[in-house]
Amino acid sequence: QKEVEQNSGPLSVPEGAIASLNCTYSDRGSQSFFWYRQYSGKSPELIMFIYSNGDKEDGRFTAQLNKASQYVSLLIRDSQPSDSATYLCAVNNPDRGSTLGRLYFGRGTQLTVWP
Amino acid sequence: DAGVIQSPRHEVTEMGQEVTLRCKPISGHDYLFWYRQTMMRGLELLIYFNNNVPIDDSGMPEDRFSAKMPNASFSTLKIQPSEPRDSAVYFCASSGYDSGGYGYTFGSGTRLTVV
């Protein structure tokens, strides 16, 4: 059973603060890790992916991966009200002989950024 | 590219009726996924295809659900007969080597209501 766990929240932070979203996964064979943002009534959209241990930065977003601890996080700096959404963590389980395959999703963390 | 295209956007049907959801993946993507999302269960993978071949249909709830992918540019998810508990948002997603490190691109979803 491959599980991806996230705190459901809601996580509430003031505008300008750092929002920290956390995710743990059970399958040590997981190779790729993704963060999706889903606004209410919309479809999930990919915002970050990370393969290697350490940090990966893209604008106000930083993804952090620690494979030894089976932990991945997303930091949002200078949070804006427009960041208010549900953030889904997803983990890749590659098909045999392939680097592609299905993603296992967490239930998501609801983030609210208040002005 | 127009992205992943799903139709219809909304579907309201009576219990017992047949429902067909449609999906056109991004051209060149060789993976196609059908997900269902509810508040109670989050995102659930129903079935996925690789090069038009079903790889894993273990998430299909029961025999009332069926999915086909007759060619690389079209897939259908059929529910027959439909039941109120099938009410959910159904997402189609596609993936390929060009999609952000193998992450998915989701369609806009079909909101199904069975009354």
The Cα A81–Cα B7 span in angstroms is 31
Chain B within 8 Å of A2 (Cβ-Cβ)? no
Could you tell me which residues are beta bridge partners of residue B32? B49, B94
pLDDT tens track, chain A, 115 positions = 568 999 878 999 999 999 999 999 998 888 889 999 999 999 999 999 898 899 999 999 999 999 999 999 999 999 999 999 999 999 987 655 455 677 889 999 999 999 9
Q: Of A76, A48, A53, A56, give the one whose Cα is nearest residue A65.
A: A53
The residue to which tokens 């596609």 are assigned: B94
The reported pLDDT for the residue numbered A99 is: 53
Question: Each residue of B63-75: pLDDT tens digit?
Answer: 999 999 999 999 9
CB contact under 8 A, A46 and B103: yes
The Cα B44–Cα B35 span in angstroms is 5
B-facing residues of A in 72-101 (CB < 8 A) are: 88, 90, 92, 95, 98-101
Residues, chain B: 115
Question: Each residue of B4-52: pLDDT tens digit?
Answer: 999 999 999 999 999 999 999 999 888 999 999 998 888 999 999 999 9
Identify which has the larger pLDDT, B114 or A9: B114
The reported pLDDT for the residue numbered A97 is: 47
Residue B106, CA distances (Å) to A57, A74, A96, B83 in order = 23, 21, 24, 25
**B99: confidence class by pLDDT, cuts 50, 70, 90:** low
Q: How far is B83 from chain A (nearest CA, A)?
A: 22
- A39: Cα separation from own chain's centroid: 14
The Cα B17–Cα A113 span in angstroms is 42
The residue to which tokens 């993946």 are assigned: B25
- Tally of helices (H runs) and strands (E runs) in chain B: 0, 11
The Cα B45–Cα B65 span in angstroms is 13
The Cα A90–Cα A49 span in angstroms is 9
CB contact under 8 A, A108 and B33: no
Under 8 Å between Cβ of B80 and B64? yes
Q: Which two tokens stand for residue A96?
A: 């045999």
